[in-house]
């Protein structure tokens, strides 16, 4: 397994995912290189497609994943900026200069930023804080009935009923 600092060449499938030019949903198993592919895609967008870092939104589920993504992208850009005297070196250096504007964050922090910007529309204070404990217990309350064996059976049977009623 390569560390964040090691140079990795993408295989053919990873490369086609990283250089995809259409909207795409890509699924891959644990440890198969998802973060590596997304980080490479980011670098490809700024070096080859000439996007500015502020034009790219990179969202993850966890803070740990966001930090890892940030580190890997920064490292890849620094490597290209340092080594590549060709056409990719210049945009990589520009991206590094502007990296403070990079939006690589969790879904939660992105959503909170949107709400904060428009807080007055929702009648809440812009300096609101998120009650993590309450969020966890709400998520648990919603998820557990679904996950319990009876819950799953209930969900499946209601799905089947709907399918029968509305074929
Ligand atoms: N093409 C490749 N060649 C060599 N090493 C690779 C390749 N793709 C990924 N790796 C290595 O495999 C390891 C796992 O990659 P990565 O963290 O990107 O996977 P992931 O799918 O995001 O994992 P997780 O499911 O834990 O989030 C890393 O050390 C990465 O450097
Ligand atoms: Mg990952």
| Residues 5-58: tens digit of each pLDDT | 556 789 999 999 999 999 999 999 999 999 999 999 999 999 999 999 999 999
pTM: 0.80
Instruction: Please state the CATH superfamily assignment of the domain spanning residues 12-130 in this structure.
Output: P-loop containing nucleotide triphosphate hydrolases (3.40.50.300)
Task: Give pLDDT, residue 143.
Answer: 85
Residue 155 backbone phi and psi in degrees, to 5: -60, -45
Q: Where are the domains of the chain?
A: 12-130, 131-167
Q: How far is the CA of 36 from the centre of ligand 1 (A)?
A: 6
DSSP track, 28-54: --TTSSHHHHHHHHHHHHHHTS---GG
Asked if residue 167 has pLDDT above 50, the reply is no
**Residue 81 vs residue 146, higher pLDDT:** 81
Alpha carbon of 42 to ligand 1 centroid (Å): 16
Which stretches of 13-146 are assigned E, i.e. beta strand? Answer: 57-60, 103-106
Cα 78 to Cα 15, 39, 83, 111, distances in angstroms: 20, 13, 8, 29
Nearest-5° angle of CA 103, CA 72, CA 99? 40
What are 96-130's pLDDT values in tens digits?
999 999 999 999 999 999 999 999 888 888 888 88
DSSP state of 25: -
């Amino acid at each position: 397994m390569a560390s964040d600092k090691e140079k990795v060449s993408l295989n053919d499938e990873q490369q086609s995912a990283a250089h995809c030019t259409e909207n795409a949903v890509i699924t891959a198993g644990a440890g198969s290189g998802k973060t590596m592919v997304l980080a490479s895609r980011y670098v490809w967008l700024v070096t080859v497609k000439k996007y500015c870092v502020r034009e790219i939104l990179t969202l993850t589920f966890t803070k740990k994943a966001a930090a890892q993504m940030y580190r890997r992208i920064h490292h890849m850009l620094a490597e290209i900026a340092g080594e590549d005297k060709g056409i990719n070196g210049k945009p990589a250096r520009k991206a590094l200069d502007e990296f403070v504007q990079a939006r690589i964050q969790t879904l939660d922090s992105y959503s909170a930023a949107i709400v904060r910007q428009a807080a007055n529309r929702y009648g809440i204070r812009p300096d609101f804080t998120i009650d993590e404990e309450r969020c966890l217990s709400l998520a648990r309350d919603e998820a557990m009935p679904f996950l319990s064996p009876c819950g799953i059976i209930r969900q499946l049977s209601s799905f089947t009923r709907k399918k029968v009623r509305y074929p």
